[in-house]
Amino acid sequence: MLAKSTAAPLDKRQLLTAFYIAIVAFLTYTSVYAYRKPFTVATFEGINYWGIRYQTLLIISQGVGYMLSKFFGIKFIAELKRMGRWKTSLILVGVAWLSLLLFAVVPAPYGMICLLVNGFMLGFMWGIVFSYVEGRRTTDFIGAAMAVSFIFAGGFTRSVAVWIRDTWHVDETWLGFLTGLVFALPLLVFIYLLEKIPLPDDRDIAERTVRLPMNKESRLVLLHRFGLGLLVLTITYVFLTVMRDIRDNFMSNMWNELGYGNKPAIYTTTETITSIAVLAIMSLLVLVKNNFKALQWAHAVIIAGFLLAGISSLLFQMNLLNGALWMQLVGMGLYMGYIPFNCILFERLIASFKIVGNVGFLIYLADAWGYLGSMSVVLSKEILKVQLNWVSFYSTAVLFFAVVGVAGTFISLFYFGKKHKLSK
C-alpha cells in the first residue's frame, strides 16, 4: 500500500529557499542556451549543399548531436552522482563553446561537424542542472521556473545575437561564439551557486522519496512495471518535441515570413509573455500536495496545451487570427504540454508510486525519442522537397500532432489511474 502524504506547510525560510533555487536554476539554463541557439539567427542566404540550405543542415547537425546525447544520457544521467557535477558542467559547456569557435574559422560545410559536437555536449546539461532541484516539495515550482527558461532563453539569447550582429556588424559565423562570450562569466557564477544549493531535507524525502542514481537493474525494473504507460507518454512527447523544436529552430524563418523579421525585440517580447504565463500555470501545481492528483492535473495541463496549439493553428489557417498572435498562442500551448514532461510529470510519477530513483532517467528516455522524431520531420521535409514555407508547414503539422497528442495523453491518464488503484 502506498504511504499517505506527510505534507506539511512550507515556512518562510523554505519558500525563500525555493525562490532562490528557482532563480539560480533559471539563470543557469538561460546561460547554457547562449551556447546553443543564437547561431540560428544567421540565415546563410544563398549557401546550399546537396540541394539543402546550409542553415538547415547546421540545425539538423546540432539536432542530431543533441539527440545522440539524449540516448547516451539515459544511462549517464540516470547514474549521475552528486560529486563533481560542476566539473562535468564546465567541461561540457567549454567543449560546446570551443566548437563554436571552430565553426567560425572552418569553411563550410565542415561547420556541420562543429555543431554536431556542440549539440552533443549541451544535451547533457538539462539532466545535470535538474539533478540539483528534484525531490523537493517545491520542485514543481523550481522545475517550472527552470523549464520556462526554454522559452525565455530562446528569444533572449537570439536578441543578444541580433544586437551583436547589427551593432558590431559581426559576420554570421561568429555570432554563436561571441554570444557565448557574453554569457561566459555569468554561467560560471551560476554553476557555483548551484553547488551551494542545500540538499532536500527530511520532509522533502518523506513526501517525494529519496533520489538516487539508478543502475541497469533498477532501470529495467521500472520499465517492466510501467512500460506501457511510459511508451504512451514517450509517443506523446515525441509530438510535443517536434512541434516545439521546429518552432524553436526555425523561429527566425517564421517571423520573417510573417513580416516581423526586422524587429529583433519580437523574440524577447513574445517569449517573455509566454514564459510568465506558463510559469504561472505550472506553479499552481505546487499547491496540490497529493502526488497522484498532481500527476492527474499535469495530464490535464498537457491536454489543454495541445488543444490551445491546435485550435489557434486552425483559426490562423482560417484567417481568423493574425500571425503574431498565432505564434504567441501556439507557443504557449506547446509549452504547456512540453514543460510538464521536463519538470513535473515524472517528478510526481516517481513520488506517487514511491520509486527510488531519479527523474533524469525518465526525462532522457522520453527526450531521446522526442528528438529523433524532431530530426526525422526536418529531414523528411528537406529530402522529399516538400513545397511549403515554414509557416504553412508548421501550422498544418501542429493541427495533426494536437489530435494525436490529446488522444495519447488521455490513454496515459487512464493507464496510471488504473495502476494507482491496483497499488492501493
Give the phi and the psi of residue 168 in degrees, each rounded to 5: -105, 0
In 3-state terms, the chain is what percent helix, strand and coil (to 5)? Answer: 75, 0, 20
Please state, in angstroms and rounded to a whole number, the distance separating the CA atoms of residues 76 and 363.
12
DSSP annotation of 49: E
CB 32 within 8 Å of CB 125:
yes
Which band of pLDDT confidence, cut at 50, 70 and 90, is reported for residue 273?
confident
pLDDT tens sequence across 359-390: 889 999 998 998 888 888 777 777 776 666 77
Highest mean pLDDT among 77-86, 269-278, 306-315, 372-381: 306-315
Check residues 164 and 262 and name the one with the higher pLDDT: 164
Residue 267 — pLDDT band, cuts 50, 70, 90?
Answer: low
- How many Cα neighbours within 13 Å face the side chain of 91? 7
Cα separation, 112 vs 54, whole angstroms: 9
More confident residue, 362 or 286: 362
> What phi and psi values does residue 2 have, to the nearest 5 degrees?
-75, 140
pLDDT at position 122 over 90: yes
CA dist 275 and 113 (Å) reads 32
Q: What angle do CA 28, 358, 123 make, to 5 degrees?
A: 45
Say if residues 278 and 301 touch (Cβ distance below 8 Å): no
- Domain spans, the chain: 12-423
Q: For residues 224 and 332, what is the distance between their CA atoms, to the nearest angstrom?
A: 34
State what percent of residues in the chain have pLDDT above 90. Answer: 33
> Quick one: cell of 306?
495541445
- Per-residue pLDDT reduced to its tens digit, 338-347: 888 888 899 8
What are 377's three cell numbers?
520531420
**Architecture (CATH level 2) of domain 12-423:** Up-down Bundle (1.20)
